[in-house]
Structure 1
Amino acid sequence: MSCYYAVTSALVSPFPSPSSTSLLSLNSGDDVEVKPNFNQNGYKWRLLLAYDGTRYAGWQYQESPPTVQCAVEKALIKATKLQRKDLQLVGASRTDAGVHAWGQVAHFITPFNYNNLDRIHAALNGLLPKDIRVREISPASSEFHARFSAKSKIYHYKIYSDTIMDPFQRHFAYHNMYKLNSDAMREAAKYFIGKHDFSAFENASHNDRVPDPVKHIFRFDVKEMGALLQLEVEGSGFLYRQVRNMVALLLQIGKEAIPPDIVPHILSSRDRKELAKYSFYLPPHGLCLVSINYNESHLLPPPGCPAKSFGMHHTIRKCKTIFY
């Protein structure tokens, strides 16, 4: 499949017919070639997104509350002149309300084929609110799927342990005023590693999907950075609120309220009510989706495509300062 690109609302003119090839002359003087689409599924693009989830009701599209997907779709609709059903935007992870992301991945489809990605990249960031950024945009093969091609996901949960909360961390870390035993937390985290049934760590979901409760946790690290404790977990996938529920239990273990070997007992129970006896609700703002790993073969661009866009860098070509 050939490479493909969208165009900003300021640059869009009516789409060429599927049987024709035409040129659009842009204000910059650059010609953008629009080729017919021979793939019935359209041309696929991959987005790497970062966002502050504080004011959003999660990633997933909803009719009324603001969600990240709604904001991204709104920008894409203006940039491409396509409708939501045509774009078919899919996110890799349905982050919950208040959860942040540095490495969310999504894909969408267009019928265009353009010569450069930098302009659509700049256009999307110009249309998006400032708490959502497109970090990269690249062509993707027809085999790539943001959700189903993923091999693993990495989440971080930050805990700020001090009597007084750092005001610059208040939106991105949970405030804990108790002294924590980080060694006990590390010991307990090891019990999560491997393939387990995590039914005891899943909250009831609002969608109709019946997820597989068996997940593979590849690593679970507890890192100390001064007053900040960062819990890093990588897994094949996660159930609804699984990461926050695991961290909440580790927090109780860090307070020495319960021993580390309580973890295998709760895992084997496969009962969310069993976890509730020892743990408590942990807010979402300390959680961040850091990165998603994919099969390398699914990341290969279609033949003949230019490089992905990391954003345009501006340089000063001539000094305009008046010297005396």
Structure 2
Amino acid sequence: MRCWAVGSPVLPPISLPLSPIIPSPNGASSSSSRGFPNAEDDASYIKEPSFPCFKWRLLIAYDGTRYAGWQYQRSPPTIQCLIEEALIGATKLERKDLHLVGASRTDKGVHAWGQVAHFVTPFNYDSLESVHAALNGLLPVDIRVREMSPAVPDFHARFSTLSKVYHYKIYSGTIMDPFQRCYTYHCVYKLNYAAMKEAANYFVGKHDFSAFTNAAHNDRVVNPVKVIFRFDVIEMGALVQLEVEGSGFLYRQVRNMVGLLVQIGKEALPPEVVPKILASRDRRELAKYASGVPPQGLCLVSINYKEDHLKLPSDCPGTSFGCPNNLGGRDIIR
């Protein structure tokens, strides 16, 4: 089950006196998260609120070109900052009361089709269409809430995940397609896709990915062992799309893995270099062979969740998909 879509700035409906959702303590705590630069209180976005409330899930798409990633900061603006501003306008609540949490902290310039977030309110809604429309009416055109739905107390955008799917696109034509420039990495070299596919298979399975993560000054203790369920290399004419699904990813892990695959595709390295670098568990070993690729080719496509965490709670409205017919087929923006 997923979340949001398109709409106009309409005030949310009056709340109904239904039974509130009382969040249960979440097993994962702020000790397992990265900090939030320029955010006044990281813990408020990780810990569940202690008061009775209603929880709401958002499915969000955005073009990350103009933004400094997901993670909250005001300048330069981030996706989380703008989502929170829209929520403040639509719900009339303060930022500290919303407890907005995103599933994945995408970097500057990275895009998303299936980002998921949740927030809370002290009141219920009888329908989500108007508040959904209000959010999209308050957001810039390159950020859209695709779906909005109520969530059960146990759902957590970050900690309920089973897997995440990222796509990375490479354009290998001699002359870059100008319409692809913001969404693909231009590689002027002819790539050996068979070698890239062979190398990608070495990533599949449970591994320590310490060699494929960049250090971040605001990182806390993170488990470097992740499971890669699949890593596909798909040819699409001048485009090649790398699709990777994993239990989770370390900071810059996907871009670093793709950077190595590009070097292998150029035939500068053999596919067998992958297990050697994995075994080293040392980022300096990867740096001998390859560097990460730029952010614009990367997109967070979807996130898979525990099935029981996606059930709709009772006494709450159904999922809103945007109701374009009620808006005259137009996405009304500011």
Which band: TM-score by shorter chain?
Answer: 0.7 to 0.9
Give me the TM-score of the superposition, normalised by structure 1: 0.87
Alignment of 1:25-104 (within 5 A): 33-35=16-18, 37=20, 39=22, 40-104=51-115
Deviation, 1:303, is 1.3
Higher RCO by CA contacts (8 Å cutoff, separation 6 or greater): 2
In 2 relative to 1, CA 316–104 (structure 1 residues): closer, same or farther, beyond 3 Å?
A: closer
| Structure 1 position 38, deviation (Å) | 6.8
Which residues of structure 1 form unaligned runs of 5+? 1-7, 13-22, 25-31, 318-324
Q: How does 1:278-289 map to 2 (within 5 A)?
A: 278-289=289-300
Aligned to 1:135: 146
**Do structure 1's residue 192 and structure 2's residue 241 form an aligned pair?**
no
Question: Which of residues 272, 282, 287 in structure 2 aligns to 1:261?
Answer: 272
Secondary structure, aligned partner of 1:142: coil
Tell me, what secondary structure is at the counterpart of 1:217?
A: strand
Report the counterpart of residue 260 of structure 2 in structure 1.
Answer: 249
2:147–2:320 Cα contact (<8 Å) kept: yes
Q: Secondary structure at the match of 1:263?
A: helix
Aligned sequence identity (%): 70
Q: Match of 2:161?
A: 150
RMSD across aligned positions (CA): 1.8
Deviations 1:222-250 (A, max 9, x none): 00000000000000000000000000000
Given that 1:9 and 1:80 are in contact with CA atoms closer than 8 Å, whether structure 2 keeps it comes out as no
Q: Deviations over 1:63-116 (max 9, x none)?
A: 422000000000000111111110000000000110000000000000111211
Q: Is the 8 A contact 2:172 2:190 kept in 1?
A: yes
Deviation of 1:62 after TM superposition, in Å, equals 1.5
Q: Does 1:298 align with 2:281?
A: no
Which residue number in structure 2 is paired with residue 111 of structure 1?
A: 122
The counterpart of 2:249, out of the listed 238, 249, 254, is 238
Please report the TM-score for the alignment, with normalisation by the length of structure 2. 0.84
For 1:271, the equivalent position in structure 2 comes to 282
Give me the whole-angstrom Cα distance separating, in 2, the residues matched to 1:141 and 1:231. Answer: 34
Q: Which moved more, 1:214-223 or 1:35-44?
A: 35-44
CA contact (8 A) 2:9 2:133 kept: no
Cα 1:114/1:196, change in 2 over 3 Å: same
- CA 1:316–1:198 in structure 2 vs 1: closer, same or farther (change >3 Å)? closer
Q: Deviations over 1:176-217 (max 9, x none)?
A: 110000000000000000000000000011314111000000
Partner SS, residue 33 of structure 1: coil
Which letter does structure 1 place at the counterpart of 2:211? A
Partner of 1:218: 229
Match of 2:188 in 1: 177
User: Is the 1:34–1:114 Cα contact (8 Å) retained in structure 2?
Assistant: no
Gaps of 5+ in 2: 1-7, 23-50, 329-334
For this pair of structures, how many residues does the alignment match? 293
Give the structure 2 partner of residue 11 of structure 1. Answer: 11
Letter of the 1:48 counterpart: L
Superposed displacement of residue 306, structure 1: 3.1
| Cα distance between partner residues in 1 of 2:92 and 2:164 | 32
